[in-house]
Amino acid sequence: MPDYALMNQCLYEGKAKEVGEMTEAAIAEGITPQEILSDGLIAGMSVVGEDFKHNILYVPEVLIAARAMKAGMAVLRPLLVAGDAASGEKSTTGVVVMGTVRGDLHDIGKNLVCMMAEGAGFEVHDIGVDQSVEKFMAAADKFKPDIIGMSALLTTTMNYMKTVIDGFEADGRKMKFAIGGAPISQMFADEIGSDGYGADASSAVDLFLSFMGQGDAPSTSTEVGGELARASDSGDPLAGAVELPKGTQTTYQILYWQDLPSEIKASDEYTEVKIELPTSFVERIDLAAQRLGLTDATSYSAQYRWGDEQERVGDAVSVVAALQAELEASAG
């Protein structure tokens, strides 16, 4: 009997080699690929999804866990496909075609959605970035999806999502459309006639499942300052500080893209705070990535690392505010 708890833990920690080996061992033991998929991989990935949603895990960690999921899937996929062919039935929850729309090269978020959806049992066909309506249609012809997922990160490309939806409609094809990406909102989804919008990878999966008649659609209210347990209603993640005893210690870490700071996380006895540094920091990273040619999702993400864990006196909210001010000052 495989140790699924251990397998889930290895997946969570991104131990790809171990997950691959445990999957192989379970197959050798005669366990069905369906059971290994659901109890070993999907169960582990759903914890990753939940922790990502609640800011316990961040993008780099999720990408590493997703790599481990892929190692297990590489072992299972041929067996699942062979099983499907023999039984004439699909073992998947549903079929999804995913792509980033034309003019847009951002794919980190799309890749996460693909991995999480695969982790939830969907058959996912990722058609990549910069995809035209014709490419989406060709993929729909080929893979007969239940759902078309589109991602856009630029305000200049988000309108192309409507072009795709209109293209399918003009052709008389009925599909479920899901959209997402940083500038996308439920209001925009309603405006362009998309069936749904997902704010993050786990909401995307909930949305896909709801399309397949499994569970409710995710709540579309924006989680303002969701990363901060003690945030006020103002939406400012640094608002709402509560008086803590003098001498309170905060542990903090800075996330760097190479040597450029990107995020800060901090926690005191009561609160966890995570902030993304302002746009000027993002722009500096974008520029450096393009100058160095590190623009594909894998090499871009590989540049992230958390700095050492450090301590400062003060509550988490004030420490983060002070660190942000210092980083802004030193960035000039």
Taking residues 237 to 276 in sequence order and writing x for each that binds ligand B12 by CB under 6 A, - otherwise, the string is ----------------------------------------
| Phi, psi angles (nearest 5°) of residue 255 | -90, 125
Beta bridge partners of 98: 126, 149
295 binds ligand B12 (CB under 6 A): yes
C-beta of 4 vs 208, nearer to ligand B12: 208
Beta bridge partners of 180: 151
Residues 6+ apart with CB under 8 A from 254: 261, 262, 263, 264, 306, 307, 323, 327
283 binds ligand B12 (CB under 6 A): yes
Burial of 252 (0-12, 13-18, 19+ CB in 10 A): buried
C-beta of 34 vs 143, nearer to ligand B12: 143
Contact 71, 24 (CB under 8 A): no
Min separation Cβ 7 and ligand B12, Å: 24
Distance CA 119, CA 121 (A): 5
Binding residues with ligand B12: total (CB under 6 A): 39
Tell me which residues in 25-64 interact with ligand B12 (CB under 6 A).
Answer: 59
C-beta of 33 vs 149, nearer to ligand B12: 149
C-beta of 181 vs 237, nearer to ligand B12: 181
110 binds ligand B12 (CB under 6 A): yes
Residue appearing with tokens 């988000």: 158
Task: Tell how many helices (H) and how many strands (E) occur in the chain.
Answer: 13, 10
181 binds ligand B12 (CB under 6 A): yes
DSSP code, position 42: I
Distance CA 34, CA 40 (A): 10
Candidate residues 198, 225, 237, 314; the one interacting with ligand B12 per rule CB under 6 A: 198
Candidate residues 94, 145, 149, 225; the one interacting with ligand B12 per rule CB under 6 A: 149
Residue 303: C-alpha distances to residues 15, 109, 217 (Å)? 19, 16, 34
Stretch that binds ligand B12, among 64-72, 103-111, 226-234, 266-274 (CB under 6 A): 103-111
Q: What is the biggest distance separating any 2 CA atoms in the chain, rounded to whole angstroms?
A: 68
C-beta of 138 vs 294, nearer to ligand B12: 294
Candidate residues 13, 39, 223, 296; the one interacting with ligand B12 per rule CB under 6 A: 296
178 binds ligand B12 (CB under 6 A): yes
Candidate residues 14, 60, 94, 180; the one interacting with ligand B12 per rule CB under 6 A: 180
Which of 174, 157, 156 has its CA nearest to residue 165?
Answer: 174
207 binds ligand B12 (CB under 6 A): yes
Question: What residue ranges bind ligand B12 (CB under 6 A)?
Answer: 59, 103-110, 112-113, 149-151, 153-156, 178-183, 198, 200-201, 204, 207, 279, 282-283, 286, 289-290, 295-297, 300
